[in-house]
């Protein structure tokens, strides 16, 4: 972080953890309906309940003023928000923000990759759970693989470095594609992270307990073919990274259940409705939308509210596949 800030300005929670990373959900809407993320007939929020681009910018600016140096834009699908290019351009110009990143399903990157690069976006993560067109359509319910592969190509062409794939692996659905995804990532020189399915929101398309594949199982499958070397790379989140001797890509595993990553947690989330979530696996939150609308253009009030909220950040999350979901929010509300 290239800034001098007094410790009174920085965001610290009650356990001494400094918050430097914000995941900002820019919409709850999506052009896909991934089976693990939302029900087929998803009801989205009325537009008035969702933060406007101007409000999203104010939230981002307040966090950066409080020492956050990394923002990831997520959703829902960020690229369905027509104001995304404006938001990227304005956030990218904030002094003190070192990394502005995007998580997307990739479908619209064919059109947007180049302008987003020009607007100042630094990095992109693209979700890709299958390389087989029919299966891809089944898992996303509405997605077309060809468009996503074109989107990945467009991001490469636009000059984005360290593009990363995210893959959620489900037993009996795509767990036979782990090595194919690894080969694709190696060939295209893309980092890849495998994510364990998390019990966020109630779905009845499948039983999350039966579909669960642990990071450990995925790691074993890969290691049998491509030996993995653990690294000390750490982004303060749940991901653990590995390297291979004969490739420059990194292979990550996100295991919300089996790993204790909470001690080094440096992040908070803001939902599309402007709820500041202190932890993905707990309901503790405060309403920033109310502050934004009751005290418009008042950065000090917004920053004070954010500072006060830090005392609500719990020490650790509680995810349990054996219980009914305690977290009723779907992932598209939370921002993955």
Q: Which residues in this chain contact ligand SF4 in the complex, by CB under 6 A? A: 30, 32-34, 37-38, 75-77, 105, 127, 331-332
Question: Min. distance of Cβ 19 from ligand SF4 in angstroms?
Answer: 24
Closer residue to ligand SAM in complex, CB, 158/167:
167
Residues paired with residue 242 on neighbouring β-strands, in sequence order: 230, 251
The C-alpha R_g of the chain, in whole angstroms, comes to: 19
Question: Min. distance of Cβ 47 from ligand SAM in angstroms?
Answer: 18
Closer residue to ligand SAM in complex, CB, 96/175:
175
Closer residue to ligand SAM in complex, CB, 20/127:
127
Closer residue to ligand SAM in complex, CB, 75/151:
75
Q: Which contiguous run of DSSP H or E holds residue 84?
A: helix 84-92
> Where are the extended beta strands (E) located within the chain?
21-25, 70-74, 99-104, 123-127, 164-168, 191-195, 229-230, 239-244, 247-254, 267-270, 275-277, 285-287
Q: Is 333 in the site for ligand SAM (CB under 6 A)?
A: no
Residues paired with residue 25 on neighbouring β-strands, in sequence order: 74
Q: Is 174 in the site for ligand SAM (CB under 6 A)?
A: no
Closer residue to ligand SF4 in complex, CB, 79/97:
79
13 binds, among ligand SF4, ligand SAM, none (CB under 5 to 8 A by kind): none
User: How big is the CA angle at 237 (ends 229 and 106), to the nearest 5 degrees?
Assistant: 85
Closer residue to ligand SAM in complex, CB, 10/262:
262
Q: Which stretch binds ligand SAM (CB under 6 A): 40-48, 74-82, 108-116, 130-138?
A: 74-82
Q: Which contiguous run of DSSP H or E holds residue 74?
A: strand 70-74
Q: How far apart, in whole angstroms, are the C-alpha atoms of residue 311 and residue 302?
A: 16
Q: Is 166 in the site for ligand SAM (CB under 6 A)?
A: yes
For residue 229, what are the contacts with CB-CB under 8 A and spacing of at least 6? 242, 243, 244, 245
- The bridge status of strand 267-270 relative to strand 275-277 is antiparallel
Closer residue to ligand SF4 in complex, CB, 32/319:
32
Question: Min. distance of Cβ 153 from ligand SF4 in angstroms?
Answer: 19
Alpha-carbon 171 to chain mean position: 22
Q: How far apart, in whole angstroms, are the C-alpha atoms of residue 33 and residue 191?
A: 24
Q: Is 84 in the site for ligand SAM (CB under 6 A)?
A: no
CA diameter of the chain? 57
- CA nearest neighbour of 45 among 272, 269, 202, 201: 272
Q: How far apart, in whole angstroms, are the C-alpha atoms of residue 253 and residue 167?
A: 10
SS3 call for 163: coil
Site string for ligand SAM, 91-130 (x = CB under 6 A): ------------xxx---------------------x---
33 binds, among ligand SF4, ligand SAM, none (CB under 5 to 8 A by kind): ligand SF4
Q: How far apart, in whole angstroms, are the C-alpha atoms of residue 143 and residue 45?
A: 21
Q: Is 197 in the site for ligand SAM (CB under 6 A)?
A: yes
Alpha-carbon 22 to chain mean position: 10
Closer residue to ligand SAM in complex, CB, 304/326:
326
Q: Which of residues 19, 22, 24, 30 is near ligand SAM by CB under 6 A?
A: 30
Site string for ligand SAM, 33-72 (x = CB under 6 A): ---xx-----------------------------------
- Residue 254 phi/psi, 5-degree rounding, is -110, 115
Q: Is 77 in the site for ligand SAM (CB under 6 A)?
A: yes
User: How big is the CA angle at 168 (ends 138 and 178), to the nearest 5 degrees?
Assistant: 90
Residues that bind ligand SAM (CB under 6 A): 30, 36-37, 74-75, 77, 103-105, 127, 166, 168, 195, 197-198, 200, 331-332, 336
């Amino acid at each position: 972080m290239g800034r001098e800030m007094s410790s009174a300005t920085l965001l610290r929670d009650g356990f001494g953890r400094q918050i430097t990373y914000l995941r900002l959900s820019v919409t709850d809407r999506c052009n896909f309906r991934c089976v693990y993320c939302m029900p087929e007939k998803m009801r989205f929020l009325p537009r008035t309940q969702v933060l406007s681009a101007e409000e999203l910018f104010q939230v981002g600016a307040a966090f950066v003023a409080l020492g956050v140096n990394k923002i990831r834009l997520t959703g829902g699908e960020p690229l369905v928000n027509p104001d995304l290019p404006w938001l990227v351009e304005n956030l990218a110009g904030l002094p003190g923000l070192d990394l502005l990143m995007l998580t997307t399903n990739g479908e619209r990157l064919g059109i947007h990759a180049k302008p987003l690069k020009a607007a100042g976006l630094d990095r992109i993560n693209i979700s890709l759970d299958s390389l087989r067109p029919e299966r891809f359509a089944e898992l996303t319910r509405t997605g077309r693989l060809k468009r996503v592969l074109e989107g990945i190509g467009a991001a490469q062409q636009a000059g984005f470095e360290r593009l990363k794939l995210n893959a959620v692996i489900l037993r009996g659905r795509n767990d036979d594609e782990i090595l194919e995804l690894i080969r694709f990532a190696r060939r295209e020189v893309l980092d890849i992270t495998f994510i364990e399915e998390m019990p966020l929101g109630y779905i009845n398309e499948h039983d999350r307990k039966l579909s669960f594949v642990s990071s450990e199982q995925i790691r074993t499958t890969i290691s049998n073919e491509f030996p993995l070397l653990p690294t000390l790379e750490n982004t303060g989140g749940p991901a653990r990274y590995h390297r291979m001797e004969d490739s420059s890509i990194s292979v990550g595993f996100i295991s919300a259940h089996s790993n204790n990553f909470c001690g080094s947690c440096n992040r908070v989330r803001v939902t599309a409705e402007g709820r500041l979530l202190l932890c993905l696996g707990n309901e503790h939150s405060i309403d920033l939308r109310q502050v934004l609308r009751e005290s418009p253009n008042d950065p000090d009030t917004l920053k004070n509210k954010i500072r006060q909220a830090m005392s609500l950040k719990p020490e650790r999350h509680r995810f349990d596949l054996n219980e009914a979901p305690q977290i009723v929010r779907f992932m598209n509300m939370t921002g993955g």
